[in-house]
């Protein structure tokens, strides 16, 4: 499938199989998501049926292993898919990516019983998952979390609260990082808390600037009894599990920003060709031509860095963590600027909710904040550069 001559396509450099995944994801986004994107945002609808349709195509566990119902694809395949789906709705795709991250954590760190219990239903999206790390008192300083998990017989008793949990209150499986040991990261474990467990409750649904097709709530744990058999991995391994999940999560979130920017470059381009001022189409204006060129250049640069990071993560290269952080930092920042610039090019119309460009801007703004702020990304990169062995 050719695209217009000379234009850099998002399919460049992909294998035939990846092009098929991408095409299918673009089609799904265009037909099943794009027509509803505005309504889901306005009415704050969590589109369960659409996500289950996506799961039927294999999007519930994209990089989860096939023997527990996943699609067994690579990080690069995943990035390509999320980039394409985001052109239909960033918020919904971002939730799907969080769900995938949780699914992968159970698949990778869970024992056989846990994998067989949770993963198949997460892959079909019969059940939905949430990732619970952040607390009111610990965001960037995640390792200082205070939620405790006291061992009593065959249960951990959890006490504490988590903040800003995507899907919170509407999902079924909560991956909770909690303190079983002493201070710092080594005292943290990871447990799976199931919906309707006594002691699990939720705060009010937050009112957000974007990401409105997913509910966000505080998750409150009050003497919540969780069976020891729900702990993933060893005691003290929880922080490591959480961070390994986030490496992939950062690729996914950046992919969502990329899809939004891709869509916005198209929208801006189309608008410039149609809108006339001073007797001619805006596309004849050199400043706007140059701006569009800059946007497209940053888009391609973002895509290349992101895909390289995805490959590095897949191959467990030693630079993977740095690259994932660099990709998250660069891509989310640049793509926000691209979308914001596209809004500006629409003039007053860009500010109206009738036009999709504002929703892309609102939805991807938070990507510069969550899954590790872009400031934390700099910390990770600097640490790697300045380390003894660097």
* Options 39, 371, 375, 388, the catalytic residue: 371
Residue 141 within binding range of another protein, rule CB under 8 A: no
Nearest distance, CB of residue 361 and another protein, angstroms: 25
Q: Work out the number of other CB atoms within 10 angstroms of the CB of residue 270.
A: 11
Nearest distance, CB of residue 3 and another protein, angstroms: 6
- Which residue's CB is nearer to another protein, number 59 or number 95? 59
Residues 30 and 262 sit within 8 Å (Cβ to Cβ): no
Q: Work out the number of other CB atoms within 10 angstroms of the CB of residue 269.
A: 17
Residue 113 within binding range of another protein, rule CB under 8 A: no
Report the distance separating Cα 287 and Cα 344, nearest Å: 13
Only segment of 53-61, 182-190, 197-205, 305-313 that touches another protein (CB under 8 A): 53-61
Only segment of 13-21, 95-103, 137-145, 231-239 that touches another protein (CB under 8 A): 13-21
- Which residue's CB is nearer to another protein, number 24 or number 157? 24
Nearest distance, CB of residue 307 and another protein, angstroms: 18
Residues 283 and 272 sit within 8 Å (Cβ to Cβ): yes
Only segment of 18-26, 94-102, 113-121, 212-220 that touches another protein (CB under 8 A): 18-26
Known catalytic residue at 334: no
Residue 49 within binding range of another protein, rule CB under 8 A: no
Residue bearing tokens 């892309």: 360
Residue 62 within binding range of another protein, rule CB under 8 A: yes
Question: Helix, strand, coil proportions of the chain in percent (round to 5)?
Answer: 55, 15, 30
- Which residue's CB is nearer to another protein, number 1 or number 386? 1
Only segment of 56-64, 107-115, 227-235, 245-253 that touches another protein (CB under 8 A): 56-64
- Which residue's CB is nearer to another protein, number 55 or number 232? 55
Q: Work out the number of other CB atoms within 10 angstroms of the CB of residue 53.
A: 15
Q: Work out the number of other CB atoms within 10 angstroms of the CB of residue 352.
A: 10
- In the 8-state DSSP scheme, what is residue 204? P
Residue 190 within binding range of another protein, rule CB under 8 A: no
Contacts of 234 (CB under 8 A, 6+ apart): 189
Only segment of 11-19, 240-248, 321-329, 354-362 that touches another protein (CB under 8 A): 11-19
Dihedral sign from CA coordinates of 293, 299, 305, 307: negative
Residue 57 within binding range of another protein, rule CB under 8 A: yes
Residues in region 65-104 near another protein by CB under 8 A: 66, 71, 73
- Which residue's CB is nearer to another protein, number 16 or number 388? 16
Nearest distance, CB of residue 49 and another protein, angstroms: 15
Report the distance separating Cα 266 and Cα 24, nearest Å: 19
Q: How far apart are the first and last CA of the chain?
A: 44
Residue 35 within binding range of another protein, rule CB under 8 A: no
Nearest distance, CB of residue 129 and another protein, angstroms: 19
Which residue, 17, 32, 123, is CA-closest to 71? Answer: 123
Helix (H/G/I), strand (E/B), else coil: 166? strand
Q: How far is CA 202 from the centre of its chain?
A: 22
Task: Please give the C-alpha separations between residue 32 and each of 58, 89, 92, 127, 288, in angstroms, as whole numbers.
Answer: 15, 10, 11, 20, 33
Residue 266 within binding range of another protein, rule CB under 8 A: no
Residue 21 within binding range of another protein, rule CB under 8 A: yes
Residues 157 and 193 sit within 8 Å (Cβ to Cβ): no
H-type alpha helices, 188-319: 238-274, 286-314
Nearest distance, CB of residue 386 and another protein, angstroms: 41
Residue 23 within binding range of another protein, rule CB under 8 A: yes
User: Which one among 40, 59, 128, 174 touches another protein, defined by CB under 8 A?
Assistant: 59
> What are the residues binding another protein (CB under 8 A)?
1-5, 16-17, 19-21, 23-24, 27-28, 56-59, 62, 66, 71, 73
Residues with catalytic roles:
371
């Amino acid at each position: 499938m050719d695209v217009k001559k000379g234009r850099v396509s998002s399919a460049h450099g992909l294998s035939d199989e990846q092009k098929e995944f991408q095409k299918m994801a673009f089609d799904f986004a265009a037909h099943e998501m794009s027509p509803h994107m505005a309504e889901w945002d306005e009415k704050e609808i969590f589109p369960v049926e659409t996500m289950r349709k996506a799961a039927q195509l294999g999007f519930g566990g994209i990089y989860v292993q096939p023997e527990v119902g996943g699609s067994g694809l690579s990080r690069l395949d995943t990035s390509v898919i999320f980039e394409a789906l985001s052109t239909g709705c960033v918020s919904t795709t971002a939730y799907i990516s969080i769900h995938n991250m949780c699914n992968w954590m159970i698949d990778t760190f869970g024992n056989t019983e846990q994998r067989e219990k949770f993963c198949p239903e997460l892959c079909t999206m019969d059940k939905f998952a949430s990732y619970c790390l952040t607390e009111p008192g610990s965001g960037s300083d995640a390792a200082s979390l205070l939620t405790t998990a006291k061992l009593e017989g065959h249960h951990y008793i959890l006490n504490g609260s988590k903040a800003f949990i995507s899907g919170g209150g509407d999902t079924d499986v909560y991956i909770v990082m909690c303190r079983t040991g002493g201070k710092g990261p080594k005292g943290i474990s990871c447990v799976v808390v199931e919906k309707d467990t006594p002691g699990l409750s939720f705060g009010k649904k937050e009112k957000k600037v974007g990401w409105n097709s997913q509910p966000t709530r505080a998750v409150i744990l009050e003497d919540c009894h969780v069976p020891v058999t729900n702990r993933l991995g060893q005691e003290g391994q929880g922080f490591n599990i959480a961070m390994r999940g986030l490496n992939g999560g950062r690729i996914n979130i950046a992919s969502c920003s990329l899809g939004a920017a891709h869509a916005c470059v198209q929208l801006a381009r189309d608008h410039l060709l149609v809108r006339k001022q001073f007797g001619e189409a805006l596309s004849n204006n050199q400043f706007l031509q140059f701006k569009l060129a800059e946007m497209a250049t940053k888009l391609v640069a973002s895509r290349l860095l992101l895909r390289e990071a995805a490959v590095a993560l897949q191959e467990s290269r030693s630079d993977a963590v740095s690259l994932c952080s660099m990709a998250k930092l660069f891509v989310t920042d640049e793509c926000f600027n691209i979308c914001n610039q596209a809004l500006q090019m629409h003039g007053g119309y860009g500010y109206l909710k009738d036009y999709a460009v504002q929703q892309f801007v609102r939805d991807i703004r938070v990507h510069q904040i969550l899954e590790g702020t872009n400031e934390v990304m700099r910390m990770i990169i600097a640490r790697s550069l300045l380390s003894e062995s660097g």
